[in-house]
Amino acid sequence: DSGVTQTPKHLITATGQRVTLRCSPRSGDLSVYWYQQSLDQGLQFLIQYYNGEERAKGNILERFSAQQFPDLHSELNLSSLELGDSALYFCASSVGYGRTGEDRVSYEQYFGPGTRLTVT
Amino acid sequence: DQQVKQNSPSLSVQEGRISILNCDYTNSMFDYFLWYKKYPAEGPTFLISISSIKDKNEDGRFTVFLNKSAKHLSLHIVPSQPGDSAVYFCAASRGNFNKFYFGSGTKLNVKP
């Protein structure tokens, strides 16, 4: 158990709909990351938040948005869903926002079990 | 554009033998590389990492080799055990950013 929780575990919805995925980081971790894993693909970095502020952005579609709340949990909002949005969405957390030297504490990311989204 | 590639989707190895998982990258600015292991229905877990200032890092049965000129890294598992059966992802990052670029994974099956 990584200490990162994600809800829901599974989500089935229709095209055009909007969903919200939730992530609670490990206790003490200030950074939250969102990744998307489509079929037979690697994990694609979407976005990173550190202590409530956006820190890095990856290949996140404009239809997707995220935020990190004062209690450090994060939500990923996916709107106008398309069939191609069906994927596993992982949340990860780390203590810091960047890597400082070889100190694993700063950069090691702990992943949640993921939310499987199916768009029909 | 896939900056980190794992060209072997699967690998099957006999228990006790060596498992070698390979990873190639295209961005010469990457300076930190990691391997993650993933079991079904779980998120990836950190396994081992290597900085670009080194060419080898060892942790128990796991060794990662980095060949910067070839932009290639590999993970060696010796001896392989059935519990090592999982999907292995390599990842890379640059600078002090925590933005990881992941490969598509290699599914390792260690046969008893």
Q: What are A6-48's pLDDT values in tens digits?
A: 999 999 999 999 999 999 999 999 999 999 998 767 889 999 9
Q: How far is CA B8 from CA A12, A117, B32, in A?
A: 31, 26, 22
Residue B10 burial class via C-beta count within 10 angstroms: exposed 0-12, middle 13-18, buried 19 and up? exposed
Rounded CA-CA distance A35/B100 in Å is 10
What pLDDT does residue B94 have? 83
What pLDDT does residue A96 have? 75
Segment 59-88 of chain B within 8 Å of chain A by CB:
none
Percent of chain B with pLDDT over 90: 81
Cβ-defined contact of A102 to B51 (cutoff 8 Å):
yes
Residue B28 has pLDDT above 70, yes or no: yes
What pLDDT does residue A108 have? 79
Percent of chain A with pLDDT over 90: 74
What pLDDT does residue B100 have? 86
Cβ-defined contact of A48 to B98 (cutoff 8 Å):
yes
Report the gap between the CA of A30 and the closest CA in chain B (Å).
Answer: 13
What pLDDT does residue B98 have? 67
Report the gap between the CA of A39 and the closest CA in chain B (Å).
Answer: 9
Looking at per-residue pLDDT, the higher value among A68 and A108 belongs to A68
